[in-house]
């Protein structure tokens, strides 16, 4: 093919690309303005033109850093966000205290395979895991038991062992298609995390506790877990459970490459590893906080709309996408609604929860502490799935509110929000409200790189997409204002018998 023809085709392709981009991104959708929500264009424009999202996120992640509940950095984040709410002119900016049994402080962790060949291991202690007894060595033993009956075959055989309990996760595909405005959005992404029924999850958690107690009694010196990511990334969670207990056995997460190597070697024969982990705990219970502020309602101040996100994070990265993005989006929604002095009919409350990473603890405590307000909370919306733009709002199957939600989210078509979804997820703090019969909704987001950044070393400021974060803050602010302006509170499902007993104080 001649150079001239190549240049012509390149130019034609470039022109087509520009046209496609224009069509895909399109002009701002012209949605008729509902008189009830006439301030929406002002809200969208203020966030687009004057937002402080990246400045706030950079300070939160770089200057404060990772925010494990119970640490000084988490308290610093609580106090900084409280001061930011005050700076933005919100009312009643304060910290609501609650207590955890003990704080956990990460020390050092190192490891290597010493036999049959030497290999370094990439690892990090799990949250609330105890230290090893100095530098330890032990044989790898695979314990694939799924119930306590299966465990009995290992009785008397695990003293001094380093245990693994799962086969390695499948190697991810070699190529991940990039995001492109030329591609149709397709179906909404699946909710983050496994979709497990609450009863099944509780049963698995109980088995994990019983298994760890068995390991401790049998003299296991450590357990190793697969991080289920790729490219050397680690994953983090706690072995202390919702009650902030000290883990029963020293536990570490391995990079998938290290874990797969151990698994392959142990199929050939005995494998011995050397490990050392040093962690410490607080000597007594620690007071922790949720950060709360509000814009008082002008006509129905006792009725409340809540925007939420969790401020705590894990500590391998700096907690940017999980969940610095959600936290600064809530801050930005507060800033713009206060600056524009819109005087919403209902009170709009902004809550940044702690303890989410250990089991939605901060939101559970908040819901219990505000039981007297349950019947007056119109709805809650939580932002907590990374940097990706908000594609829809998950309504937890709340059919009663569908028609009203369609109406109040129509103005957000201008920033790319699809129609609302009845999809359910239990993965973040909205679930604590939903369990109490309060309409608790969550942002369904473009996954972007969330699977990689989530709980890993790569959860840093550099991973955040500004335009998507701006759009998320726009959705939060417009949604909160529009719900606050409705003639009535959002419809909710009929209360269950358990919720009725709880509200009346019988439980």
* Domain extents in the chain: 31-102+285-503, 108-171+195-279
d(CA 393, CA 31): 18
Q: What's residue 23's pLDDT?
A: 37
End-to-end CA gap in the chain? 80
- Please give the average per-residue pLDDT across 209-231, as a whole number: 95
Task: Domain 31-102+285-503: give its CATH code.
Answer: 3.40.630.10
CB-based contacts of 108, cutoff 8 Å, min separation 6: 276, 277, 278
User: Which residue from 301, 286, 374 is spatially nearest to 92, judged by alpha carbons?
Assistant: 301
Q: What's residue 187's pLDDT?
A: 52
Q: What would the DSSP string read from start to end of 17-47?
A: HHHHHHHHH-SPP--PPPGGGTTHHHHHHHH
Q: What's residue 278's pLDDT?
A: 98
d(CA 507, CA 503): 8
Q: Return the H-helix or E-strand segment holding 279.
A: strand 272-281
Q: Do the beta carbons of residue 453 and residue 320 sit within 8 Å?
A: yes
Question: φ, ψ for residue 376 (rounded to 5)?
Answer: -105, 0
Which two structure tokens, joined as six digits, stand for 141? Answer: 């033993």
Q: What's residue 496's pLDDT?
A: 59
CB atoms within 10 A of CB 96: 18
d(CA 328, CA 323): 9
Average pLDDT of every residue of the chain: 89
- 106-154 pLDDT per residue, tens: 999 999 999 999 999 999 999 999 999 999 999 999 999 888 999 999 9
- Whether 399 shows a pLDDT value over 60: the answer reads yes
Strand partners, 308: 351, 382
- Whether 180 shows a pLDDT value over 80: the answer reads no
Q: What's residue 183's pLDDT?
A: 38
Percent of the chain with pLDDT over 70: 85
- The two beta strands, 162-164 and 390-394, are unpaired
Question: If pLDDT is split at 50, 70 and 90, which confidence band does 376 have?
Answer: very high
- Please give the average per-residue pLDDT across 442-459, as a whole number: 95
So what's the architecture of 108-171+195-279 in CATH?
A: 3-Layer(bba) Sandwich (3.50)
Question: If pLDDT is split at 50, 70 and 90, which confidence band does 16 have?
Answer: very low
Residue 172 vs residue 376, higher pLDDT: 376
Q: Do the beta carbons of residue 337 and residue 382 sit within 8 Å?
A: no
Which position has the token pair 């019947």? 375
**Length of the chain as a residue count:** 507
């Amino acid at each position: 093919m001649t150079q001239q023809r190549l240049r012509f085709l390149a130019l034609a392709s470039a022109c087509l690309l520009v046209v496609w981009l224009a069509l895909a991104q399109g002009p701002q959708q012209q949605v008729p303005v509902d008189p009830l929500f006439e301030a929406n264009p002002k809200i969208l424009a203020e966030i687009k033109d004057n937002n402080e999202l990246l400045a706030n996120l950079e300070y939160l992640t770089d200057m404060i850093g990772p925010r494990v509940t119970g640490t000084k950095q988490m308290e610093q984040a609580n106090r900084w966000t409280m001061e930011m709410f005050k700076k933005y002119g919100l009312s009643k900016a304060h910290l609501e205290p609650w207590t955890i049994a003990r704080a956990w402080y990460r020390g050092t962790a190192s490891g290597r395979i010493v036999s049959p060949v030497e290999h370094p291991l990439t690892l990090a202690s799990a949250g609330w895991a105890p230290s090893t007894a100095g530098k330890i060595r032990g044989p790898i033993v695979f314990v694939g038991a799924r119930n306590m009956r299966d465990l009995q075959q290992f009785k008397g055989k695990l003293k001094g062992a380093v245990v693994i309990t799962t086969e390695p996760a499948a190697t991810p595909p070699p190529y991940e298609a990039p995001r492109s405005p030329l591609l149709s959005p397709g179906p909404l992404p699946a909710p983050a995390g496994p979709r497990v029924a609450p009863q099944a999850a509780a049963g698995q958690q109980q088995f994990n506790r019983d298994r760890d107690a068995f390991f401790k009694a049998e003299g296991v010196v450590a357990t190793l877990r697969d991080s289920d990511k790729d490219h050397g990334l680690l994953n983090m969670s706690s072995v202390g459970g919702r009650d902030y207990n000290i883990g029963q056995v020293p536990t570490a997460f391995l990079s998938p490459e290290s874990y797969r190597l151990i698994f392959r070697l142990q199929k050939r024969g005995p494998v011995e590893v050397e490990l050392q982990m040093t962690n410490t705990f607080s000597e007594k219970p620690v007071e922790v906080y949720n950060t709360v502020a509000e814009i008082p309602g002008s006509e129905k101040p006792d009725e409340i709309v809540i925007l939420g996100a969790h401020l705590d994070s894990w500590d391998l990265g700096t907690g940017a996408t999980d969940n610095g993005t959600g936290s600064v989006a809530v801050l930005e929604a507060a800033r713009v609604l206060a600056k524009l002095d819109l005087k919403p009919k209902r009170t709009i409350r902004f809550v940044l929860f702690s303890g989410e990473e250990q089991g939605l603890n901060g939101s559970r405590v908040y819901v219990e502490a505000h039981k007297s307000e349950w019947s007056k909370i119109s709805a809650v919306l939580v932002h907590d799935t990374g940097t990706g733009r908000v594609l829809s709002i998950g309504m937890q199957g709340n059919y009663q509110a569908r028609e009203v939600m369609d109406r109040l989210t129509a103005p957000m078509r201008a920033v790319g929000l699809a129609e609302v979804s009845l999809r359910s997820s239990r993965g973040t703090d909205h679930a604590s409200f939903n369990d109490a019969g309060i309409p608790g909704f969550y942002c369904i987001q473009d996954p972007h790189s969330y699977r990689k950044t989530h709980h890993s070393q790569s959860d840093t400021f550099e991973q955040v997409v500004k335009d998507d974060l701006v759009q998320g803050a726009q959705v939060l602010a417009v949604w909160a204002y529009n719900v606050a302006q409705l003639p009535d509170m959002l419809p909710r499902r009929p209360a269950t018998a358990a919720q009725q007993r709880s509200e009346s104080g019988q439980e």
